[in-house]
Chain A
Amino acid sequence: MRPTGIWFESYAAEARVLETLRARLWLLALLAALVLLPAVAGPWLLGEFTNLFITLVAVYGLYVTVGMAGQINIAQSAFVGVGAFTAAKLSGMGVPIWATIPAGALAAGCISIVFALPAWRVKGFYLALTTLAAQVMFPIVILALPMSWLGGLVGMPVMPPTLFGLNLGTPTGLYFLGLFVAALATWTAFNLPRSRIGRAFRAVHDNDSAASVMGIQVTRIKIEAFFAGALYAGVAGAVLAYFLQFVTVSSFTLFTSVWYLGMLIVGGLHSPVGPILGVVFVTLLQEGLHKFANAMLQADGGLGGGTVFALSSVVLALCILIALIFEPRGLAHLWHTGMKAFRLWPFPRN
């Protein structure tokens, strides 16, 4: 429900993502703050933000596959890995960055189609098991391929990216690269639900029998949902490769996939705001735990790096379980109700 005084004079105005001038001004302010950030922030903070942007792109991929189309994907990290290894290999061959990122996205998308094919016979969590197979097979395949192809156990170095003679390998350059892909991912994810294919995803999510009665080719839409989600993962992987400067299989584990899923669930599956809230919340939580662990480490020295990892796994798992049991719509729902209360104040929300 909108407050009194907001009305639309055309269909196009009502269909906008940002309905009011105020919302557009807020977005502009946010963008300006993010663009001006490198002027005041140090390299550590820029690195954190770059990492956050890359994670956001990967989680938006999950939002498309899991949130919109309702197909569980626990191999997002493997698809990110496919993008990263593709970009690393191509950058070693001297291919420029404007070609490696789309190539990484396409490679991840094509691999995802192979594992989405069982959608033809099964549905629900049986389909999730094929993505589990993809995640488990990914390191085995990379490690078994000859060292000269993808680096095997050691990994592969990545050439620093340049664009039109500009060196993007600096913290600031990588920050703007991350900001650009994150903005692109956000823009597409907000607009996808308004498109024909986005509505088809939603229909398959709600009830695939009903969707097929309405003339949607369910199997094809499911495969397209996996493909679209993996495209985001590939882009995230390619940028991650440039960010890490070195790719190894140990960066792309089942645990990372679960982390991505956890961020999506905590943030909220059914709203494009969810991934942003989830990624920011989980990143803040993780940084807080690191700070806490460092303080403990200085206090008595009894805490190792493994303990910090274990502690953050436990906290994230508890967050997912709490979200599933008590607030399945995630932080996005709290955000929407909070916004509504803010807009209607001082009148009650309902």
Chain B
Amino acid sequence: MIDLLQIVIEGSLVGLVYGLVAISFVVIYRAAKIINLAQGEVLVVGAFLLWTFTEGAAGLGWPLPIPVSLLLTAAGCMVFGAAVERSVFRPLIGQPAFTIFMAGVALLILLRGLVQLVWGAETRSIPVILPEGALQIGPFLVNTRLLIGAAFTLALTAALHLFFTRSRLGLRLAAVAEDHTTALSLGVSVRQAIATAWVLGTVVATAASVVLLSGSILSLEVAVIGFKALPVALLGGMESIRGAPLAGVIIGVLEALASAYLDPLTNGAASGLLPYVAMVAVLLIRPYGLFGWRRIERL
């Protein structure tokens, strides 16, 4: 019983990290109506920026204090998000969903290639930013890094939810997500909305990379987290900020249970397959997810 609860606790903490990445999908979808498949690569770019301003700067003889490097990373990924929006997605405003989706696919291999050209393919270590260790709560051990990440995810969810439902800019983004043409005719700037969405999305993805990689190894393979978070975003509902962490916990716990109880029977495949089986099941049973906007037609 204690074992089971320990697995559930670990699964939900990891699930909240998935939820954080899923929020970065949702933020972009909610404002720009783009499912950006390259979100995992965006996260990797953020992580490499983080590496550049911590270990990379230290290697050049310019050791920076952690808060300064975090600020520089945040600034760097804002510039990066704005550059992606300006060069790839702004020229495509008003194009069919197929074109925009394919632009995301092209961005995926573009970013993967660029990262490899700029930083090289070797693995790197990210310094410890969030404290490592385990907290003893009763009979359970809780990883402090993931605990802080979980608290951050929940706080960010509340903040973004308020932003999207209460602030003027957030409501404008929601109007753009509903329909570009209608938003334009109401005087809402689609360009501004999409630029805001991209900057927010890259910042959230980079925050996720801090939680995920603090004190561990950074390689190009980290981008897989993007594909793991996609089922989470779909389950929570592509328009729902608050659905993402909840769906993250569901997927995380199921994955942890599968890896503990089913993997020994299936040669390690069950936990890997679970998010995608869940994704296909969600699309078949409840395509708008748990809290997404119900549309009669999804085009």
Contacts and interface: CB of A to CB of B under 8 A. Distances in A.
B139 interface: no
Interface string B260-299: 0000001111001100110110011101000000000111
A68 B272 CA distance: 33
B35 A125 contact: yes
Contact of B284 (A117, A317, A321): A117
Q: Chain B: interface residue count, which band?
A: 35 or more
B273 A120 contact: no
Contact of B110 (A146, A261, A265, A317): A317
Contacts of B280: 115, 118, 130, 133
Contacts of A118: 280, 283-284, 287
Interface in B5-46: 35, 37
B299 A316 contact: no
Interface residues of A, number: 49
Contacts of A312: 113
Contacts, number: 133
Nearest to B37: A132
B182 interface: no
B106 interface: yes
Interface string A115-154: 1011011111111111011001100110111100000000
B123 to A, nearest CB: 13
A183 interface: no
Contacts of A258: 105-106, 108-109
Interface in A282-312: 306-307, 309-312
Given A132-B227, A140-B269, A262-B106, A314 B283 contact: no
B34 to A, nearest CB: 9
- Give the interface centre of B92, B268, B272, B277 by most chain A CB atoms within 10 Å: B272
B117 interface: yes
Contacts of B116: 306-307, 309-310, 313
A314 B279 contact: no
A328 interface: yes
A72 B105 CA distance: 11
A314 B101 CA distance: 18
Contacts of B98: 70, 72, 124-125
A141 B273 CA distance: 8
Given A72-B101, A325-B92, A126 B298 contact: yes
Given A121-B284, A133-B276, A313-B110, A321 B269 contact: no
Interface in A235-275: 255, 258, 261-262, 265
B128 interface: no
B102 A261 contact: yes
B83 interface: no
B207 interface: no
A314 B283 CA distance: 32
A332 interface: no
A12 B246 CA distance: 61
26 contacts: A74-B105, A125-B97, A125-B101, A129-B283, A133-B276, A137-B277, A141-B269, A143-B269, A144-B266, A145-B267, A146-B267, A255-B109, A258-B109, A262-B106, A310-B116, A310-B117, A313-B109, A314-B109, A314-B117, A317-B108, A317-B109, A318-B110, A321-B103, A321-B106, A321-B110, A324-B95
Given A144-B272, A314-B113, A317-B106, 15 more contacts: A74-B37, A118-B287, A124-B298, A126-B287, A128-B101, A132-B230, A145-B267, A262-B106, A310-B117, A313-B110, A314-B117, A317-B108, A320-B106, A321-B107, A324-B95
The 5 tightest CB contacts between A and B, nearest first, are A144-B269, A317-B110, A313-B113, A310-B116, A314-B113
Interface of B: 35, 37, 88, 91-92, 95, 97-99, 101-103, 105-110, 112-114, 116-117, 121, 227, 230-231, 234, 266-269, 272-273, 276-277, 279-280, 283-285, 287, 297-299
Interface of A: 70, 72, 74, 115, 117-118, 120-130, 132-133, 136-137, 140-141, 143-146, 209, 255, 258, 261-262, 265, 306-307, 309-314, 316-318, 320-321, 324-325, 328
